[in-house]
Amino acid sequence: MSRFTDILLIGLYALIAAASSAALIRLGGFDGPFAWLAGIQIFLVMGLVQAMTGRRSDARRMDELVAFTSSISRDLEIAEARLQELDLAVEGHTPSERAFFADELARLEEEVTRLRQSASQAAVGFVPAPALRPSPEELAAEERAFEDAFLSGNVAALPEEPRARPALQLVTEETRGPLLSDNELLPLVRDALEHDRLDLYLQPIVTLPQRQTSFYEALTRLRGPQGEVILPADYIRVAEPAGLMPILDNMALLRCVQVTRQMEKRKKDTPIFCNISAHTLCDTEFFPQFLDYMKEHEELAPRLVFEIGQDAYDAAGAVEHESLRDLAALGFRLSLDQVRRLDMDPHQLHATGFRFVKLDAAQLLGAAEGGTPFFGNIHPQDVKELMRRAGLTLIAERIESERTVVDILDYDLDYGQGFLFARPRPVRKDLIAA
């Protein structure tokens, strides 16, 4: 409120108080001193009411500013993460493939710039507290708090990602440079596998709209000799032609089994989705050993869900389909990931052992609005019921905003996954090996 408005209000209150005193003298027959004392009290009461109203208004504006700033910070984090992933994905592709990403990169860069400007404008008038460098004890406490909250299934209690972790990029900020070529990256991947530098990350899959953790998806990252984090988009590109995918799958499976053992000790039975590649399914040396291991540990069946991409499933031959049926025969459930179209036979999927189908939330909503061939002959509102009749459960993934949640609920989907609920979090290796 401006100073000029304050002066006007004070004058108005004084006028009302004086008029009240005069009325008490003329109409009420009160003595002058008593009437003027009553007028002064009226003036003070109105001033007190105005002060309380102003404080409440300031508090409300402060709460709105804090909420607005928090929303901007979350959107900025998501936008920067997507920008980084796209930026990494563009490197190493042909000029025509790079052109495909150009518009999206430009849009994300504009969005990041806008969010930064909004955050700066929202912070005007506030002095942030000085950033304190955390001690080793504080970092250790953060890690323990994270593990307890994550393995307990309490998404709301998850702290921020431990500050000691490097960012999800090929090189650290201090040594950031041009991305490596395939010939340079392959030795790093081999070295990481030889020295057991594969880290497991977990991301919750939650119920909608309650947002209670029902599953986790296991994601893997490789670390270079200097602690650099190598993303799947990079290492899979060189691991597949080099025949390293069965090794990666084996190590990821071992991590998942170790996590389920830890959850079992904590009296938790939250299932974990574990990705498995088509290369592993058709590997005549590795997969029989893998299947024998699963036979010896059939008690893990309720706790592990094996996930395979739609493209890999469509390209699978008789050997791969037989391998999937063998896993299902042991009681392990399957999930179809990276779905790009729904022109599939859901009953055939169920017969093979599939129980879950994951759909990209943005693609699902975009296809529903634009009428793309994604749905085939299926009406968007009938997708869930069609899958349910075949014994399949739909999961909407890559949910990054509250608006997306609202739109997804129109399709009555029961599960969701994405940065809005929680980012993938690393599991400490010493906890897994305990």
Q: Distance of CA 272 to CAs 103, 260, 413, Å?
A: 36, 8, 20
Confidence band (pLDDT; 50, 70, 90) for 274? very high
Q: What's the predicted TM-score (pTM) here? A: 0.61
Domain ranges of the chain: 1-124, 168-432
pLDDT per residue over 44-92, tens digit each?
Answer: 777 776 667 666 666 566 666 555 555 566 666 666 556 555 555 554 4
State how far Cα 173 lies from the chain centre.
Answer: 23
| List of residues 6+ apart from 344 with CB closer than 8 A | 310
Entry field: residues in the chain: 434
Per-residue pLDDT for 122 more than 70? Answer: no
Whether 323 shows a pLDDT value over 50: the answer reads yes
R_g over Cα of the chain: 30
Residue 9 has pLDDT above 90, yes or no: no
Report, as an integer, the average pLDDT of 367-371: 67
- Per-residue confidence (pLDDT) for residue 103, from 0 to 100: 54
> 299-314 pLDDT, tens per residue?
899 999 999 999 889 8
Lowest mean pLDDT among 106-115, 210-219, 254-263, 410-419: 106-115
Q: Which residue has the higher pLDDT, 143 or 51?
A: 51
Range with lowest mean pLDDT among 3-17, 207-221, 279-293, 414-428 = 3-17
* CATH for the 168-432 domain, from 3.40.50.300, 3.40.50.150, 3.20.20.450, 3.30.230.10: 3.20.20.450
Looking at every residue in the chain, the average pLDDT score rounds to: 75
Give the pLDDT mean for 108-135. 49
Burial of 181 (0-12, 13-18, 19+ CB in 10 A): exposed
